[in-house]
């Protein structure tokens, strides 16, 4: 019944607006002034964001429907946005939910099931069930919020992957027992994945959601769904408005690149562009940029033929210990005038693509002993 109703709503929304092949997914943790800044959005800023989304005519859609539509290559409304919250923090209920309920907007909460009811900082199942009854999708964030990519020194590869499989299955069964929800969508704890973890969740029939930034669109792997983190300054008005306007980087294909680097701390990212004309090629060569922290990366180009170019992106210095990213942008204006949104008066709409990197603290000479960083 709910599925059918959502489908009808989605169909109606699509009649009213220009169609798109992507959606922007936002990621929140705490909505609070008294929690760690990096994972927090103040209630005032959150309210401002909600009002902005409303006034600007953004369509707030359920995550399950957006993923389904993109997997099936069905059109979405041109201003599709999804709101997601990670972890089982109480401030979602106290500070975000009343605002979203009033708007009658859907949202998703990725729950680490072991955290539920732990203390006053955390949600309890009653609150979660109430939010579910009012538009929340309750999804998997593992049981203990462990780092999926970390194989322990006392376990072999099979034991490690079995442990992660158990984490996912346990959380899924608890969510099903407590709320009745059984959507196979997991957000990686800390946004950390590796190619082996991708293989695992795909073999389990799950969609995997990350924290690397960018809009989610057609032909992207659904095991590394991108989201825009909204903590700290990322959610401030200028950054927020810019992210809402982004489009998927016009790549020939969206590669699955191994983020975990044990020996190469200067990893290369190869991105294949398909070009329609000379103008696009010039635009790409002149204006495609990637950033690593605050610095620009090196980009070298290889020409496949006159209709295809590969950008070889590499940071100018080593990636730091822990998580980092290459963030790549290309202004939309001039590259594809057809899809330039009308509001792009200041040439501020960008194609966007991000690649995650993960570097351990210390790796032994034979790569068998890995020391990880503390969170
Ligand atoms: Zn989390």
* pLDDT reading at 3 higher than 70: no
256 Cα: distance to centroid of ligand 1 (angstroms): 22
- State residue 123's pLDDT score: 97
Please state whether beta strands 107-111 and 136-140 pair in parallel, antiparallel, or not at all (unpaired).
parallel
DSSP state of 181: -
DSSP state of 229: E
How far apart are the C-alpha atoms of 8 and 15, rounded to whole Å?
A: 11
Q: Which residues contact 331 (CB under 8 A, 6 or more apart)?
A: 283, 287, 347, 349, 350, 351
In this predicted structure, which of 28-42, 92-106, 205-219 has the lowest mean pLDDT? 28-42
Which H helix or E strand runs over 374?
none
Which H helix or E strand runs over 70?
helix 63-71
First to last CA, the chain: 42
69 Cα: distance to centroid of ligand 1 (angstroms): 25
Helical residues (DSSP H) of the chain, grouped into ranges: 2-16, 43-55, 63-71, 90-91, 97-103, 125-133, 157-179, 195-203, 237-244, 278-287
Domain ranges of the chain: 6-244, 268-371
* pLDDT reading at 16 higher than 60: no
Q: Confirm if 25 and 211 have CB atoms less than 8 A apart.
A: no
**Residue 198 burial (10 A CB sphere; 0-12, 13-18, 19+):** buried
Establish whether domains 6-244 and 268-371 are of one fold: no
- State residue 342's pLDDT score: 57
CATH superfamily of 6-244: Glycoside hydrolase/deacetylase (3.20.20.370)
* pLDDT reading at 65 higher than 90: yes
297 vs 233 pLDDT, higher one:
297
The CATH architecture assigned to 268-371 reads Sandwich (2.60)
- State residue 341's pLDDT score: 57
86 Cα: distance to centroid of ligand 1 (angstroms): 5
164 Cα: distance to centroid of ligand 1 (angstroms): 15
pLDDT tens-place string over residues 208-253: 999 999 999 999 999 999 999 998 889 999 999 999 999 999 999 9
101 Cα: distance to centroid of ligand 1 (angstroms): 23
- State residue 99's pLDDT score: 97
CA–CA–CA angle 24, 178, 173 (5° rounding) = 80
Q: Which residues contact 140 (CB under 8 A, 6 or more apart)?
A: 110, 111, 168, 171, 172, 175, 184, 185, 186, 187, 206
* pLDDT reading at 10 higher than 70: no
224 Cα: distance to centroid of ligand 1 (angstroms): 15
100 vs 19 pLDDT, higher one:
100
Q: According to the 3-state scheme, what is the secondary structure of 80-142?
A: EEEEEEECCEHHHHHHHHHHHHHHCCCEEEEECHHHCCCCCCECCHHHHHHHHHCCEEEEECC
pLDDT average, residue stretch 254-262: 96
145 Cα: distance to centroid of ligand 1 (angstroms): 6
Torsion angles phi and psi, residue 199, rounded to 5: -55, -40
87 Cα: distance to centroid of ligand 1 (angstroms): 5
Q: What percent of the chain has pLDDT over 90?
A: 78
pLDDT tens-place string over residues 112-159: 999 999 999 999 999 999 999 999 999 999 999 999 999 998 999 999
Tell me what percent of the chain is helix, strand and coil, each rounded to the nearest 5.
35, 25, 40
Torsion angles phi and psi, residue 230, rounded to 5: -115, 10
280: tokens are 């696009």
- State residue 1's pLDDT score: 45
pLDDT average, residue stretch 275-301: 93
- State residue 296's pLDDT score: 95
Q: Which residue has the tokens 């376990």?
A: 155
In which band, very low, low, confident or very high, does the pLDDT at 15 lie, cut at 50, 70 and 90?
Answer: very low
How far apart are the C-alpha atoms of 210 and 188, rounded to whole Å?
A: 6
- State residue 144's pLDDT score: 98
28 Cα: distance to centroid of ligand 1 (angstroms): 10
Tell me the average pLDDT of the chain.
92
pLDDT tens-place string over residues 157-184: 999 999 999 999 999 999 999 999 999 9
123 Cα: distance to centroid of ligand 1 (angstroms): 14
Q: Confirm if 194 and 360 have CB atoms less than 8 A apart.
A: no
């Amino acid at each position: 019944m709910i599925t059918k109703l959502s489908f009808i709503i989605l169909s109606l929304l699509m009649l009213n607006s220009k169609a798109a092949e992507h959606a922007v997914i936002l990621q929140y943790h705490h909505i609070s002034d008294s929690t760690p800044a990096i994972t927090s959005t103040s209630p005032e800023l959150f309210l401002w964001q909600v009002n902005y989304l409303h006034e600007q005519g953004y369509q707030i859609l359920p995550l399950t429907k957006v993923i389904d539509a993109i997997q099936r290559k069905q059109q979405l409304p041109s201003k599709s946005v999804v709101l997601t919250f990670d972890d089982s923090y109480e401030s979602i209920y106290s500070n975000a939910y009343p605002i979203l309920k009033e708007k009658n907007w859907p949202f998703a909460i990725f729950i680490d099931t072991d955290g539920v009811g732990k203390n006053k900082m955390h949600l309890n199942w009653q609150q979660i069930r109430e939010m579910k009854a009012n538009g929340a999708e309750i999804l998997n964030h593992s049981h203990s919020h462990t780092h999926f990519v970390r194989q322990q020194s006392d376990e072999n590869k099979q034991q490690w992957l079995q442990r992660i499989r158990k984490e996912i299955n346990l959380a899924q069964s608890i969510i099903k027992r407590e709320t009745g929800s059984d959507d196979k969508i997991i957000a990686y704890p800390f946004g950390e994945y590796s190619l082996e973890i991708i293989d695992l969740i795909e073999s389990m029939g799950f969609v995997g959601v990350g924290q690397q930034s960018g809009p989610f669109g057609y032909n992207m792997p659904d095991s590394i769904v991108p989201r825009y983190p909204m903590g700290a300054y990322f959610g401030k008005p200028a950054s927020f408005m810019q992210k809402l306007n982004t489009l998927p980087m016009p790549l020939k294909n969206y590669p699955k690149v191994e983020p975990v680097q044990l020996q190469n701390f200067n990893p290369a990212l190869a991105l294949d562009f398909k070009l329609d004309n000379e103008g696009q090629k010039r635009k790409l060569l002149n204006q495609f940029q990637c950033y690593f922290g605050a610095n620009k990366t090196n980009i070298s180009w290889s020409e496949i033929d006159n209709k295809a170019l590969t950008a070889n992106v590499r940071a100018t210095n080593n990636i730091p210990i822990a998580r980092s990213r290459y963030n790549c942008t290309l202004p939309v204006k001039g590259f594809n005038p057809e899809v330039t949104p009308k509001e792009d008066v200041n040439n501020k709409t960008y194609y966007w693509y991000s690649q995650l990197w993960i570097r351990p603290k210390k790796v032994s000479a034979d790569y068998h002993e890995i020391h990880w960083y503390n969170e």
